[in-house]
Structures are given as C-alpha cells and as structure tokens.
Structure 1
C-alpha cells in the first residue's frame, strides 16, 4: 500500500519523519499517511515524491523490479549456507533478524516476479527460525507465484520446507504425510517435473520414510532415485542418496547392500577428492565392524586416523562421532575406565533431528552402562541403561535400538 511504500523508501534513504515532512507537512500528518490512516492530496504526493527523489509513478506503483533484484542479491548473500536445522544457533538467529529487517518494509508491495517469490520464500524461512507462525502465509504466497510462473522446482522446495518444519518438531509420520500430499499436488498440477526436482523429491521421500522406520518405503524411494539418475545421466544429490542407502543397509544388517553403497560413496568421495567422504566411509565401516561383523580388533587403527588421544589425561579430541567411536573401541579392548571418561564427555549435538542420528548418539549411554557393569558399579549401570532405554523407546527398530534393549534387559535381570 502507499503508506508502506512511503515508509519503506523513507527508511531506505535513512530519513526521519521530520526530515521527510519538511516545512509543508506535519510529522503527525505524515505518520497518518504512512499508516494508511490518511490519503495525501496530489500536491502532498508530489511534495513527498520530490523529497524522496522518486517519481510519483514509482511512489504509487509496487516496488520496482530493479529494486527487488537488488534486494534479492543482498538477501541471498546473507542466506547463503543457511540451514533451518540450526534454528536455535545464535548465528542463525542473527542472520534471520538481518534478513527480516531488509525485506519487511517491502513485504506488502512486491510484484509477482520470481525475485519477489524468492524473497517471500526466504522471509518465511527466517520467520520459522524465529518461531513466528506467520511463516506459512509467506511460504504460501511464494508457492502461488511460483505456480503462476510454472516454476515447478521452486514450488517443490516450498513443499519440502513445509514438511521439514513438521519434521523438526519430531512429528515424523505427519511430516511424511504432508510431504506426500505436497508431492501429489505438484505431480497433478504441473505438466512436467524436471529430472533434478524428481530426484530431489525421491531423496526427501526416502529420508522421511527412514525416519518412521519404514524400510520398504525408504528402499523403494532410494532405488527409484538412483535408477532415474542413471537413466537421465544426472548426479544431483547422488552422494546424499548413497549416504542414506548405506545407513539404511547398516541399520537393517544387510551386508551386501551396505558394502555396495559404501563402496559407491567412497568412489564418489575419491572422484571429488573430498576427505570428508573418506572419513564418513571409515566411520560407517567402524559401525559395520562393531555391530555386524564383531571384529573389534580392527576398529582402533581406523578411528585413530581421526582422533587424537592424550594418554596421560585420557582425553580424546576430534569429530564428535569419532570420539564416540573411540570410547566404544576402548570398551571392546576392556579399557573400561578410559572408555567411561571419553563416553561421559560426549554430548548429543543440538542440531540432530533424524531418528537415525539420535540412535547413533543415544547408544553412548548403553556403552556407559556396560562399562559400569564391568566395573561392578551396578547402580550407575542401571541408571545409564535406563537413560538409553527411554531415549530409544520412541525410535524405530535398528541395530542400535536392539543393543540398547538387550543391554537394558541384561542389566536389570541381574
């Protein structure tokens, strides 16, 4: 509306109400105009436009395309690398506040361009991260514009975001249902879905099915994504799909599938010359050796590539997951005191949301209980066995949950 447009331009030019009012308008009248409680005369409108150094048409029309593009450039730079999974982190909160401050003056006077839709989409992300329920209004507006412009991939991202907001509240079944509804709408309202969007939808569907422990749904979505990627000769999200596939095979104790997908992931990492992939493959292989093969003597050399251990202080440094693995490795070589000191220092990252990730870290209390049992401290053993058991109760079946329940029953039967 006109009032918001005047206010937005005034703030953009860093002018106070008094400065814009000058000697021909009162501050009170200008405030009423900006709040749409009074309509300016043509003479006043010409005066305001002159003070703002814009034309009357610019003042009356919606925000110009050039202005929106400039704002989007600024916003994308702030939004780069932004992850809604880190909504509680101080940096994320500060970034959201900056983006909202930048977009808010223009939010009601945008046109129906791609740039405007993208700004509305980013704005909805930031509102969600600040726990403002109005995020849904702006996400819906963005999706409507994307539909008008037939931008299927962009609409898909809005639908995925909508499902993820539910997922982050750990309402996994509801998140899956929302995702499937969004996908159904997209496939029935858009003439054609481009290959990358199709793979992206399959990947997220697999992740949502995995969260509720539906192995069949997960595997079907994974295989669909990989088959389609091969057919279309595209490699979008291939690494993420291989990671998910390897995890799923590990959790289901499917050795052949696990080895196949782990090898594929390793090849992908070697092709990209990315050491993070190689490390991930090693950590997954350690889980395989512990939980499926029972070859405990082979795990320490692998872990020690990524963890530094101070023997005197019995402190391990490195990635959180690798440190956890180090503590488990000490348990299997019967170094229970060392294992305990490391495991008790491991914390569950606050950005985790997927049940599989929770399972990886919740198992630490099972190992702590096992160490205390070996050290004949049954009170502490029962305490941590119970912590692990209660953490795993709402999670789907997995190798971690199985070990947790077996340990709990063994300790409490004594």
Structure 2
C-alpha cells in the first residue's frame, strides 16, 4: 500500500513534467518528497492534499484502488494495519480501507476498529460518519467485561472526548456534558485517573460547566481532583485547570480562592515559559482583586502588565480596558475618559471592544449625550447576552429605558434579575 502511493505520485509527476521543486512549492522539503516517491515514507494527510492539488487530481486518485485485501490475511493482521495507520495519522487510508474493503473491516474482531474509524472520520471533517462509529465503539465498550474495559479505557475516553468536540461544534452542550461525565465515571470506576486523558476530560468538563454557568460544579469537580493529582507527570495540564477554578470561584464570590488559583496558573505558565498565557492570566487576577475590593493591588498589577507585555498588542490594550474598568467602578469617569482617548478601538479584541462601548455608553448617558449613549449601548447588548453578563445588562437596560422610555427594556431587565450569570464589569452592590 505504501509503495503504491509513492510510486503513483512519482509516475504522475513525471507524466505531467513537473519537477520536485515545483511540486514541493515551499510547502514541503524535496528530501521529504524523495523519501515518499522512493517508498521510504508515507505522506501525511496535509502533504497528500497538497500533492493532489498541485497534480490536479482528487485525493482518491492515489488511494481509490489500493488493494487492501493483498495486505489483510486474517483478522489480527487487519487490526494491526488499522491501528498502525491510525498511529501514523494516515486517516484517509483508514477511511478508504473501510469504503473499499468493508468486508474485511467487518471481520476484524478487535472492537477498537470502531474507535480508529470514528476518530479518522473526525480528523478529516466527516462528523456524521465519526458519530456513527464512535457511538458503536462506546456501546460495545459499555457491554464489555471489566478486564476488557480496563485495557481500553484510554481509547474509550478519547472516543467520548471526540464526541464532546462534535457536540461543542453543534452547540449541544447538554450532550457534550453527558459524554464527558460518562468518561469521568469510568475513569474513577476503573481507577484510571493517572491517564493523561483524565486531565483532558476534567478540563473539558469544567469548560462546559463554565459555559453553562454551573460554577459550583466546576469547583466540586476540580478541587478534589487537583488535591490528589497536581504533582503528576501531566502537570502541564494543571494551569488550565487552575484557570477554570479561578473563574468558577470568581463568579461564586470566593475571591480569596480565585486569587490563590490564578496565582498558581501564572506560576505554572511561567514555569513552562508560556509568557502569553501567563500574561493573559493577569486579566483574571486583576478581576479577582477588584471584586475582592483590593483596588490598590489591582492598579499595581495593571501598571506592571502595561510595562511588561507591550509586544502582545491586543492583550496589551486589554490592560488599558482593565484600568478603565477599575476607575469606572470607583466612579472616576473623568479618568475613564482620559484613558479611552489613548485607545484605538479598532485594535481591541472583541471582548475589550464591547466592554469599552458599555463604559463609554453609560458615561455618555450620565452626561446626557443620549444619542451616542444609545448607539454605544446597543452595540454591546447582543455580545453581553451571549456571554451571560447579566449584571452589566441590568445597568444597560436601565440606561436604555431612561433614554427611550421604552418599557420593553424594563421587561428585559426583569427577566434577568434572578438569573445566574457571569461577572464582568459591574460589581455586586
């Protein structure tokens, strides 16, 4: 099979009178292409896509008529070939094997074939096919004996994590949570928490809990986990887990805890020399300090970050927005306006831009500049709704009602009063 692809690439290139340099076209190294054409290496999916585009043939030209049956002598060898292809990230070849030699695929006894198939379909963007095979794999795992489950818990959790990713693309958060909670259940039941996928499952489950404003669930999930697993070899996953804990504690009002966790995240990102994410964590740190009432420390951190992180333009500008938020919350609107004059709004991130619009809109309302206030507040309304910034929206709707006398804004405000949202700019009264 390997030989066939390399030989066919070379034959077609020569037939079309294309040099190796022309075929590589700055995308790949000529040495790599030579190894492929001389049957010493398989092309990756990205390389095969590039080659097919340059030679003006579909991908199927290279793999449609590969004689998989010549390679498959029995069920065990078929299973080995599928797993070997998967481990080498040759996802298209697995898909073609299934399509053109489905009988042999069906005869393979190892039920992990459904995982390899589903994951391969996912990796080439065929999500409906991925769902079919991955669900089949999960069902077979659940019906297996415990010793079989222990042997395959890693693939099982990876399968459920892919199903979560598909649900995330479809914004079906409830199903995504169900898949991850199932993975978590078996990780604990089979005493398999030391697998690297365990950290991924916990982190992604926390992400969905945060996405759906289930903050206490994040804390319950992660605190017991980190107490027993924060010193393992997968410690590179821990800063993300600490960030999730920071956000959850921040929104539940546990500000001292939120500060403790974000400091740990910053420390670990610095340990791994990930300066950008360490810098990004300081935005959360400033928020936690602000909500805890420690404005002096928050201003100190803002000023330090403005000096240290100038090379990350959008992030750098976010610290100016944080400074505006601090002054906004102590009622120093003149200082907010002064800082705003230093900012080029078009360079802001989406979140920073809408936070800017909200603060400027409220200040213009207070200054009786109602037309500009209305336009600015309406610009950020939709974004704040999608982010569940209900505290900010209560102020926004109150301003809009006073500007327009439109009672629909009162109704919108009343709908949000008892809802659980996320903290952003406006602090608890």
Q: TM-score range by the shorter chain?
A: 0.5 to 0.7
Q: TM-score, normalised by structure 2?
A: 0.60
CA distance in 2, matches of 1:259, 1:207: 19
Report the count of equivalent residues.
325
Give 5+ residue unaligned stretches, structure 1.
16-51, 76-98, 309-316, 349-358
CA distance in 1, matches of 2:111, 2:215: 38
Residue pair 2:270, 2:278 contacting (<8 A) in 1 also = yes
Residue-by-residue CA offset, 1:172-200 (whole Å, 9 max, x unaligned): 3343234334544x369x74434335554
**Partner residue, 2:86:** 72
Residue pair 2:207, 2:244 contacting (<8 A) in 1 also = yes
**Partner residue, 1:390:** 382
> Taking structure 1 as reference, are residues 54 and 117 closer, same or farther at Cα in structure 2, changes over 3 Å only?
closer
**Partner residue, 1:79:** none
Displacement of 1:264 in angstroms is 2.0
Residue pair 1:324, 1:343 contacting (<8 A) in 2 also = no
SS at 1:195's partner residue?
coil
1:135 corresponds, among 126, 130, 137, to 130
CA distance in 2, matches of 1:328, 1:261: 20
Structural mapping, 1:37-186, within 5 Å: 58=71, 61=74, 64=78, 67-68=81-82, 71-75=85-89, 101-107=92-98, 108=102, 109-110=104-105, 111=108, 116=113, 119-127=116-124, 129=125, 132-143=127-138, 150-181=151-182, 183-184=184-185, 186=186
Displacement of 1:298 in angstroms is 3.4
Displacement of 1:238 in angstroms is 2.0
Q: TM-score, normalised by structure 1?
A: 0.62
Give 5+ residue unaligned stretches, structure 2.
10-64, 328-334, 404-429
Higher relative contact order (CA 8 A, sep 6+): 1
Displacement of 1:101 in angstroms is 3.6
SS at 1:154's partner residue?
helix
**Partner residue, 1:81:** none
The answer as to 2:312 corresponding to 1:318 is yes
CA distance in 2, matches of 1:327, 1:162: 37
CA distance in 2, matches of 1:172, 1:53: 40
Task: Report the RMSD for the aligned CA atoms in angstroms.
Answer: 4.2
**Partner residue, 2:371:** 379
CA distance in 2, matches of 1:56, 1:232: 44
CA distance in 2, matches of 1:119, 1:174: 22
CA distance in 1, matches of 2:308, 2:399: 33
CA distance in 1, matches of 2:321, 2:352: 13
Structural mapping, 1:151-300, within 5 Å: 151-181=152-182, 183-184=184-185, 186=186, 191-196=190-195, 197-229=197-229, 235=235, 237-293=237-293, 294-295=295-296, 297-298=299-300, 300=302
SS at 1:393's partner residue?
helix
> Taking structure 1 as reference, are residues 10 and 157 closer, same or farther at Cα in structure 2, changes over 3 Å only?
same
Displacement of 1:242 in angstroms is 0.8
Displacement of 1:155 in angstroms is 0.5
> Taking structure 1 as reference, are residues 388 and 208 closer, same or farther at Cα in structure 2, changes over 3 Å only?
same
Choose 201-210 or 107-116, whichever is displaced more: 107-116
Displacement of 1:145 in angstroms is 7.5
> Taking structure 1 as reference, are residues 53 and 372 closer, same or farther at Cα in structure 2, changes over 3 Å only?
closer
> Taking structure 1 as reference, are residues 392 and 284 closer, same or farther at Cα in structure 2, changes over 3 Å only?
same
**Partner residue, 1:43:** none
